[in-house]
């Protein structure tokens, strides 16, 4: 391991030459043992002692003590994970069906609430049918692996989530990545793949930057090249669009989308994932999507709660409206502090710090000491020149909590207090 140990990151240890197949690379162990690297990793896997609300308690890795914190890292955007009606519905499902589904959906795991929830999700997304998975990652991996074959072309925005890439790897399709939201570059890729079966994959809200895809123009290109489209609305379902149906609704292009993916772990407040598409594709995936047909059906207790979460979030726009009011208040405050918020167009707001990992970790520690929990996002998750914090805005945030947040960020990041 050379002197400049801090120039290394998780991007550097993928290849493992340890003769012991069950051992980590030896230089990885050495790197992990370095005090600065250990300090950086201490920000991860900190244990929450209560529900992932905005106001919660943490067992801090920094001092080993319990602290009340303002939690701006959670994907519980609408507070549904602890909504009283959701909890009551989940408890009722738990009492009626038990904890687990105890079987793969194709064999013995399908319960009536799975069928009903999938039907409601398909109706919500304006598609013919829906497949429910036990995880969001599983849904992306399983759907892409089920749809694509060797010889096909999978063309993805370079900022697409790992689950989409892993699905592509598993499928054996040729994968091409276009520069983020770059239509000319996408067209070049489509030219390369011309004449083949092509699927273009984008996200609704890009999770590290909070920006949106140029969806209408991307769909124009898909149609010109006879390519199918797949949109990952993990961070946008229940939040974007007049009825909360997502970014496709926001742009008025829902009927032009081939496959609509959503996760149930973020704004829905539970866990799981789903894909909505034509009846024929969903029927086909039931045979060829391993994450669905070789994995246990979602927990009934979670499914019961999720069905209520969908109802609560869509019976009126109040949760969404509160979220957007909070986004606008916080963004205005952060812009007033002169911070670099990248190109965020959503409730995901990066605060870009720059190339210094040391600064990033220093700020993270100082903010946590003051009671603000904001995870540092380091390379390789984001480019090395644009290390950042990422605020996940919640509808649960009060004015006082937002003001407190802005004061701490100003003191630590703008004024350099520690």
Ligand X SMILES: Cc1ncc(COP(=O)(O)O)c(C=O)c1O
Where along the sequence are the contacts to ligand X (CB under 6 A)? 135-137, 140, 161, 163, 203, 207, 232, 234, 263, 265, 273
d(CA 124, CA 238): 10
Comparison of 162 and 192: residue with beta carbon closer to ligand X: 162
Query: In the structure encoding, which two tokens stand for residue 88, read together?
Result: 């009551």
Comparison of 241 and 262: residue with beta carbon closer to ligand X: 262
Kind and range of the H or E run holding 319: helix 318-336
Is the separation of the CB atoms in 227 and 214 below 8 Å? Answer: no
Nearest approach, Cβ of 83 to ligand X (angstroms)?
Answer: 18
CA-based nearest residue to 172, from 203, 144, 194: 144
Nearest approach, Cβ of 133 to ligand X (angstroms)?
Answer: 9
Nearest approach, Cβ of 179 to ligand X (angstroms)?
Answer: 18
Comparison of 76 and 265: residue with beta carbon closer to ligand X: 265
Nearest approach, Cβ of 264 to ligand X (angstroms)?
Answer: 7
Query: In the structure encoding, which two tokens stand for residue 298, read together?
Result: 């979602």
Comparison of 5 and 51: residue with beta carbon closer to ligand X: 51
Q: Looking at 159-257, which runs of residues are DSSP E strands?
A: 174-178, 198-203, 228-232
Comparison of 273 and 365: residue with beta carbon closer to ligand X: 273
d(CA 337, CA 24): 43
**CA dihedral for 347, 234, 383, 378, sign (positive or negative):** positive
CA-based nearest residue to 305, from 105, 103, 51, 127: 51
Comparison of 168 and 362: residue with beta carbon closer to ligand X: 168
Residue 108, classed as helix, strand or coil, is helix
d(CA 36, CA 42): 10
Nearest approach, Cβ of 162 to ligand X (angstroms)?
Answer: 8
d(CA 306, CA 3): 51
* Cα torsion through 141, 181, 234, 14, rounded to 10: 50
Query: In the structure encoding, which two tokens stand for residue 337, read together?
Result: 């502090």
**CA dihedral for 11, 15, 21, 25, sign (positive or negative):** negative
Nearest approach, Cβ of 117 to ligand X (angstroms)?
Answer: 16
Comparison of 135 and 229: residue with beta carbon closer to ligand X: 135
DSSP state of 390: E
Comparison of 168 and 365: residue with beta carbon closer to ligand X: 168
Comparison of 231 and 339: residue with beta carbon closer to ligand X: 231
d(CA 165, CA 167): 5
Nearest approach, Cβ of 203 to ligand X (angstroms)?
Answer: 5
Comparison of 273 and 300: residue with beta carbon closer to ligand X: 273
The DSSP annotation for 4-32 comes to -GGG--GGG--S---SSTTSPPHHHHHHH
Q: Which residue is nearest to ligand X (CB)?
A: 136
Residue 305's CB: how many other CB atoms inside 10 A? Answer: 28
d(CA 293, CA 285): 9
Beta strands at 153-157 and 174-178: parallel, antiparallel or unpaired: parallel
Comparison of 137 and 301: residue with beta carbon closer to ligand X: 137
Is the separation of the CB atoms in 172 and 125 below 8 Å? Answer: no
């Amino acid at each position: 391991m050379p002197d400049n140990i801090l120039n290394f990151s998780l991007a550097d240890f993928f290849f493992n030459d340890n003769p012991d197949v069950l051992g980590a690379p030896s230089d990885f162990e050495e790197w992990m043992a370095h005090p600065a690297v250990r300090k950086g990793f201490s920000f991860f896997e900190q244990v929450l002692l209560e529900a992932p609300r905005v106001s919660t308690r943490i067992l801090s890795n920094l001092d080993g003590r319990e602290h009340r914190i303002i939690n701006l890292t959670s994907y519980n955007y609408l507070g549904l994970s602890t909504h009283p009606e959701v909890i009551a519905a989940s408890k009722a499902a738990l009492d009626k069906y038990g904890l687990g589904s105890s079987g793969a959906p194709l064999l013995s795991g399908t319960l009536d609430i799975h069928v009903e929830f999938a039907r409601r999700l398909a109706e919500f997304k304006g598609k013919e049918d829906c497949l429910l998975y036990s995880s969001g990652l599983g849904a992306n991996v399983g759907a892409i692996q089920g749809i694509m074959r060797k010889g096909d072309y999978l063309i993805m925005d370079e900022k697409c989530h790992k689950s989409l890439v892993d699905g592509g790897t598993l499928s054996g399709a040729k994968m091409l990545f276009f520069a983020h939201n770059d239509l000319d570059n996408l067209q070049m890729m489509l030219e390369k793949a011309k004449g083949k079966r092509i699927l273009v994959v984008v996200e609704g809200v890009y999770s590290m930057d909070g920006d949106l895809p140029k969806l209408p123009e991307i769909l124009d290109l898909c149609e010109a090249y006879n390519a199918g489209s797949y949109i990952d609305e993990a961070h946008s379902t229940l939040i974007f669009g007049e009825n909360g149906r997502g970014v496709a609704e926001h742009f008025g292009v829902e009927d032009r989308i081939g496959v609509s993916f959503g996760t149930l772990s973020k704004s829905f407040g539970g866990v799981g994932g789903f894909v909505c598409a034509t009846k024929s594709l969903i029927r086909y995936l039931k045979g060829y999507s391993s994450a669905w047909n070789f994995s246990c059906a979602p927990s009934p207790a979670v499914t019961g709660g999720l069905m209520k979460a969908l109802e609560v979030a869509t019976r009126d726009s109040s949760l969404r409206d509160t979220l957007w009011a909070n986004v606008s208040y916080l963004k205005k405050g952060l812009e007033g502090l002169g911070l670099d918020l990248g190109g965020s167009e959503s409730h995901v707001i990066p605060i870009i710090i720059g190339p210094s990992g040391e600064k990033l970790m220093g700020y993270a520690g100082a903010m946590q000491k003051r009671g603000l929990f904001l995870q540092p996002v380091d390379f390789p998750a984001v480019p090395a020149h644009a290390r950042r914090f990422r605020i996940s805005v919640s509808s649960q945030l009060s004015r006082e909590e937002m003001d407190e947040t802005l004061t701490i960020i100003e003191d630590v990041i703008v004024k350099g207090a520690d």
